[in-house]
């Protein structure tokens, strides 16, 4: 229950930032390329930040303290964005926010998984509480936006909910870890881990485009309202439930490579629908594919790392995964995605994402299935 409460609090805040922040930037007068640049800057600074704070957590006497400091600083920096105007100031504050905020999720996963493994409990049901919280928060703020002129609520609301997550983080009781005896970059000697990271990278690039431009694509279609956008996020969160209930068993039966292949296929179909849709309700329906997309990749990689990486390097392992899935992927997806949206429209960008998923599946799944990359027995 303790870790479920923390997970719920974190995703209450994350839903508001992730689902609606691009609408706030649009209300501030930024173009698609400027919005993409801001999200790309957040992703870019996340690369050194996640490695730095992942190593700090592995070496800390009380790893949860690192997480608490990051959440509190993130809340303050997010709130400050409501107090400034102009692309330059928003870009600077967003980048600084991203430096402290992006390590929160991988460090949270590492802390929660550590407690669950000690108690021999599955991860899926705990992550499910995050999905419920995400749906509730998205829906509530979707209705709020329909009143008009409320885009600043996104910043204030997300910052306030981050403070709630900070309070809930004190429920985590993760003890002191064994000190890491090797540098976390030694993890890159694990061929199977590296191949999975490369396999997930193109799919995560498309997710970067989705989170930056889906709200904008949705609101331009006939029948779109803020409330309906909230319901679209509810559908996505509800679609996670079946997978999260069976994620641990599915991981044991199929393995990481097959699950990620299915996820990439589902994402490709989802982006094709998003690009071809002519009515808002079609995009709401397409959100049902989320249950086999991002959440499956995210949970599968977290489980793979928690079961294959030495205990003293698990926070660094989760951070390394986030460097690929958020840092590198979102830099590409947001920066190039903003240019694609300006050149081909938001819909054209989604069609390009569908093609990228197809190319990734064709390239990487045969490599994984063929077992070309093995993990050396003496990696660490």
pLDDT score recorded for residue 306: 79
pLDDT score recorded for residue 272: 94
pLDDT score recorded for residue 246: 84
pLDDT score recorded for residue 178: 47
**Alpha helices (runs of H) in the chain, residue ranges in sequence order:** 2-27, 32-59, 63-80, 87-101, 104-119, 124-145, 152-168, 191-219, 226-254, 256-276, 280-286, 294-308, 314-322, 329-369
**Average confidence (pLDDT) over 122-142:** 78
Cα 76 from Cα 154, distance rounded (Å)? 14
Q: Give the start-to-end residue ranges of the domains of the chain.
A: 2-172+184-369
Count Cβ atoms below 10 Å from residue 163 Cβ, excluding itself.
Answer: 17
Where does 2-172+184-369 sit in CATH, by number?
Answer: 1.20.1250.20
* pTM exceeding the 0.85 threshold for the entire prediction: no
38-62 pLDDT tens trace: 887 887 888 788 778 877 877 777 7
Maximal CA-CA distance, the chain: 60
More confident residue, 61 or 304: 304
**Average confidence (pLDDT) over 161-167:** 81
What is the pLDDT confidence band of residue 378, given thresholds at 50, 70 and 90?
very low
pLDDT score recorded for residue 368: 67
**Average confidence (pLDDT) over 244-267:** 87
Contacts of 132 (CB under 8 A, 6+ apart): 8, 237
Asked whether the predicted pLDDT for residue 259 surpasses 60, the reply is yes
Compute the mean pLDDT over every residue in the chain, rounded to the nearest whole number.
80
pLDDT score recorded for residue 195: 85
Cα 285 from Cα 170, distance rounded (Å)? 38
């Amino acid at each position: 229950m303790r870790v479920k409460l923390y997970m719920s609090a974190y995703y209450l805040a994350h839903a508001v930032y992730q689902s609606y922040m691009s609408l706030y930037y649009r209300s501030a007068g930024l173009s698609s390329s400027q919005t993409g640049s801001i999200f790309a800057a957040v992703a870019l600074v996340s690369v050194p930040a996640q490695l730095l704070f992942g190593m700090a957590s592995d070496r800390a006497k009380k790893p949860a303290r690192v997480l608490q400091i990051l959440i509190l600083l993130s809340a303050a920096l997010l709130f400050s964005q409501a107090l400034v105007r102009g692309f330059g100031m928003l870009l600077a504050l967003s980048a600084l926010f991203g430096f402290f905020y992006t390590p929160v999720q991988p460090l949270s996963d590492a802390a929660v998984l550590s407690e669950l493994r000690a108690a021999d409990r599955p991860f899926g049901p705990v992550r499910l509480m995050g999905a419920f919280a995400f749906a509730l928060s998205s829906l509530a703020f979707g209705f709020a936006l329909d009143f008009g002129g409320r885009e600043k609520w996104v910043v204030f609301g997300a910052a306030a909910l981050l403070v709630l997550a900070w309070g809930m983080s004190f429920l985590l009781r993760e003890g002191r870890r064994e000190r890491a005896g090797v540098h976390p970059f030694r993890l890159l000697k694990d061929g199977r881990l590296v191949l999975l990271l490369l396999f997930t990278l193109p799919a995560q690039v498309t997710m970067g485009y989705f989170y930056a431009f889906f709200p904008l694509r949705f609101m331009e279609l006939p029948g779109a309202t803020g409330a309906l956008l909230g319901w679209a996020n509810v559908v996505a969160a509800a679609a996670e439930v079946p997978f999260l209930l069976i994620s641990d068993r599915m991981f044991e039966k199929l393995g990481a490579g097959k699950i990620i292949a299915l996820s990439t296929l589902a994402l490709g179909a989802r982006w094709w629908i998003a690009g071809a849709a002519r009515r808002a309700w079609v995009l709401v329906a397409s959100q049902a594919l989320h249950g086999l997309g991002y959440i499956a990749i995210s949970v599968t990689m977290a489980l793979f790392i928690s079961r294959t990486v030495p205990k003293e390097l698990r926070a660094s392992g989760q951070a390394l995964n986030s460097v690929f899935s958020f840092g590198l992927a979102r830099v590409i997806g947001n920066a190039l995605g903003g240019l694609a949206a300006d050149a081909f429209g938001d819909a054209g960008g989604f069609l390009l994402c569908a093609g990228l998923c197809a190319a990734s599946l064709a390239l990487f799944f045969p490599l994984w299935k063929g077992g070309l990359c093995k993990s050396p027995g003496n990696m660490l």
